[in-house]
Amino acid sequence: QVQLVESGGGLVQPGGSLRLSCAASGSSIYAMAWYRQAPGKQRELVATITTNSAYTNYADSVKGRFTISRDNAKNTVYLQMNSLKFEDTAVYYCNTATPRFLWGQGTQVTVSS
């Protein structure tokens, strides 16, 4: 069973940037994704990336601000988040594009002035 460990979250002011990382134990050659869950809301898909990074897709709410990438040699997926807004506050998780692994602990992103 692949384990997913997210990191890189924190407290940032509106307009700021963060880079999240997701390390997968073992080899995981899957299309990967970032998700987020805000307080009182359902988990939502934020961005996806194919196995060879050829294609990416984003939720409308983050398009143009977030960038998903991956380093297969390091079994790591990244999420560069720029121009952060209050509404980006959430716990961020990674998993396969169609979730197949147990969810990790996630990493908290808080956008606040």
pLDDT in tens, 37-55: 999 999 999 999 999 999 9
Q: Which DSSP letter does residue 3 get?
A: -
What pLDDT was estimated at residue 27? 65
Kindly report the number of other CB atoms within 10 A of residue 53's CB atom: 14
DSSP per-residue letters across 49-107: E-TTSS-EEE-TTTTTTEEEEEEGGGTEEEEEE-S--GGG-EEEEEEESS--S-----E
Q: Assign 2 a pLDDT band (cuts: 50, 70, 90).
A: confident
Is residue 93 over pLDDT 70? Answer: yes
Q: Label residue 28 by pLDDT band (50, 70, 90).
A: low
In this prediction, residue 29 carries a pLDDT of 83
Mind listing the pLDDT tens digit for each residue in 45-91? 999 999 999 999 999 999 999 999 999 999 999 999 999 999 999 99
Q: Which residue has the higher pLDDT, 28 or 46?
A: 46
Q: What's the CA gap between 91 and 43, in Å, rounded?
A: 9
Give the C-alpha separation, 44 to 74, whole Å: 26
